[in-house]
Amino acid sequence: MPREFVVVESKVRELLPEGIRLSSDALQGLDAVVRQAIQKAVERCKANNRKTIIKEDF
């Protein structure tokens, strides 16, 4: 069973200009980038002895 995306496909599609399409593997790639960014933010948050992620963590 594939894991659930953390990005919302319909919201991503709303951001695309008219005439540009989104393939399923592009969505998978974007999901991987978002997951990686979240993990890095968690690491930075912990390194700064916080339990709350702030915008500077990204």
Please name the residues in contact with 5: beta carbons below 8 A apart, sequence gap of 6 or more.
27, 28, 31
The SS3 of residue 19 is coil
Q: What's the pLDDT at 1?
A: 55
The predicted-structure confidence for 2-56, as pLDDT tens digits, reads as follows 679 999 999 999 999 999 999 989 999 999 999 999 999 999 999 999 999 999 9
